[in-house]
Amino acid sequence: MLGAFAEFTRAKYISLETFRKTGAGVRTPVWFAADPGAPETLYLYSEADAGKVKRIRNNSHVRVAPSDIRGNLR
């Protein structure tokens, strides 16, 4: 699993895919930070009333991938 997380050490942004109630995925580019003490832990910040946060409250299943600032996957 660490091999997969190694890709995040070279990235500044992730594409965070959350899911609507219909099951449709919504990708959002997000700046993040990795915890050097816990290599499989990523941190991000967002306002509590943001759409992505509302979707995570409704369905905690998310997908992440390294991306650029525009959300294009690497």
The CATH number assigned to the domain holding 60 equals 2.30.110.10
Residue 74 lies in a domain: no
> What is the full per-residue pLDDT of the chain (74 aa) written as tens digits?
557 778 887 889 999 999 999 999 999 999 999 887 887 888 999 999 999 999 999 999 999 999 999 999 98
How far apart are the C-alpha atoms of 49 and 24, rounded to whole Å? 20
Range of the domain at 43: 2-67
How far apart are the C-alpha atoms of 11 and 33, rounded to whole Å? 9
Count CB-CB contacts under 10 A for residue 52: 18
Count CB-CB contacts under 10 A for residue 46: 13
Residue 73 lies in a domain: no
Residue 58 lies in a domain: yes
Question: Which phi and psi angles does 41 have, rounded to 5°?
Answer: -120, 125
Residue 48 lies in a domain: yes
Residue 63 lies in a domain: yes
pTM of the model: 0.85
Count CB-CB contacts under 10 A for residue 15: 20
Residue 72 lies in a domain: no
Number of domains making up the chain? 1
